[in-house]
Amino acid sequence: MIDVFFAHCRHTARFWPGGFFLSLILLAGGCATPQSDRLLASPFAHTPAVELTAVPFFAQTQYQCGPASLAMVLNWAGVPIAPEDLVPQVYLPERQGSFQVELLAATRRQGRVPYVLSPQLESVVSEVTAGNPVLVLQNLGYSWHTQWHYAVVVGFDMPQEEVVLRSGTEARHVVSMQLFEHTWARSGHWAMVVTAPPRLPETAEELPYLRSVATLEQVQRHAEAAAAYSAALQRWPTSLGAHIGLGNSRYAMGDLAGAEAAFRQALAIHPDTAVVLNNLAQTLADHGQLDQAQPLAVRATQLEPTNALYRETLEEVRRRAPRAAP
């Protein structure tokens, strides 16, 4: 995962003549567009053209394609925010640009789920077709003269082999699929979608999606996290992570009854799972139901005797209910 973030950026020199000629040699042999070729040979090729014309456009000011692109996808996901308001959150003055990880961080600060797509053109097409514009990082130049740029993919026209982007100062920037693939491949095929819970990305996979939702808990956006976990349970009904996340975020909001319900549902599907037993015990204890909490806490420590957290939970339950202690 982390490799995706920097695998493509080893060459940061602005200009190196040796690199220039080396690049030419490499390019001469490496001009293929495997993803476009594969896509155009697949059933995707027969899908009609799609364009999300209602995605808002913010023209970038100098160097600020990051805030502009992020504002477009955030507005689409229901956050009315202007690029200027995102500048202090993502822009790095000395580098005259924005980092990918800071776009992810700013998204969660707005209570939206940032989801990094798997690095395939098919993923981008699937998301756009499902109504999710895709924020992409491109290198418009070469490795020897990098030109990092963020843009938003809003449309595909398979018969014409074209991609439609909101890019820079152009509300509708149309490029050939092959040119898009070249510029996108040079960023390591980095792409993200922003969704408002309970909406899920079309191509979401269980663990990566839940990890992204868990980061909303880190920035105290518990209501949105709970909505996202609930939605995840619609798609993956037996997911342990989604059940725990739902319970934890309800607990963090002070909704102990809701948390208890989530953990009990988890226990029904995952009996004898120490995490569930511990979290349910703690929730019940905080709710004053110490008699019910104690056997659950005991069971958690029996399953994992070396876990310090479970032992501590059990001790706390016993401390609070001295009469029930053995």
Partner 1 sequence: MQMFRRLTRPVALTVTCFFISLSLHLPVAQAGLVPTDNVLTNTLTTPAHARVATWLGRDDVKAELLARGVSPDQVRARVDALTDEEASLLASKIDQLPAGGDSILGLAVLVFLVLLFTDIMGWTDIFPFTKKGSAKK
Q: Kindly state whether residue 89 participates in binding partner 1, applying the rule CB under 8 A.
A: yes
Alpha-carbon torsion (275, 278, 281, 283), positive or negative: negative
Residue for token pair 């495997």: 34
**Smallest gap, in angstroms, from Cβ of residue 297 to partner 1?**
9
Is 135:194 a contact under the CB 8 Å cutoff?
yes
Query: Which residues lie closer than 8 Å to 234 by C-beta, 6 or more apart?
Result: 198
The C-alpha atoms of residue 202 and residue 123 are separated, in whole angstroms, by: 8
The C-alpha atoms of residue 155 and residue 41 are separated, in whole angstroms, by: 19
The C-alpha atoms of residue 3 and residue 188 are separated, in whole angstroms, by: 9
Burial class (CB in 10 A: 0-12, 13-18, 19+), 325: exposed
Q: Kindly state whether residue 5 participates in binding partner 1, applying the rule CB under 8 A.
A: yes
Using CB under 8 A, which of 202, 217, 255, 260 touches partner 1?
A: 217
Using CB under 8 A, which of 79, 81, 223, 240 touches partner 1?
A: 240
Closer of 22 and 24 to partner 1 (Cβ): 24
Total residues interacting with partner 1, rule: CB under 8 A = 90
Relative to beta strand 162-167, strand 91-92 is: unpaired
Which range of residues in 46-54, 120-128, 147-155, 193-201 is near partner 1 by CB under 8 A?
147-155
The C-alpha atoms of residue 50 and residue 59 are separated, in whole angstroms, by: 22
Q: Kindly state whether residue 57 participates in binding partner 1, applying the rule CB under 8 A.
A: no
Using CB under 8 A, which of 118, 147, 234, 238 touches partner 1?
A: 147
Closer of 128 and 232 to partner 1 (Cβ): 232
Using CB under 8 A, which of 214, 227, 228, 231 touches partner 1?
A: 214
Q: Kindly state whether residue 123 participates in binding partner 1, applying the rule CB under 8 A.
A: no
Closer of 1 and 54 to partner 1 (Cβ): 1
Using CB under 8 A, which of 44, 120, 316, 321 touches partner 1?
A: 316
Q: Kindly state whether residue 88 participates in binding partner 1, applying the rule CB under 8 A.
A: yes
**Smallest gap, in angstroms, from Cβ of residue 226 to partner 1?**
11
The C-alpha atoms of residue 180 and residue 161 are separated, in whole angstroms, by: 10
Closer of 131 and 141 to partner 1 (Cβ): 141
**Smallest gap, in angstroms, from Cβ of residue 46 to partner 1?**
16
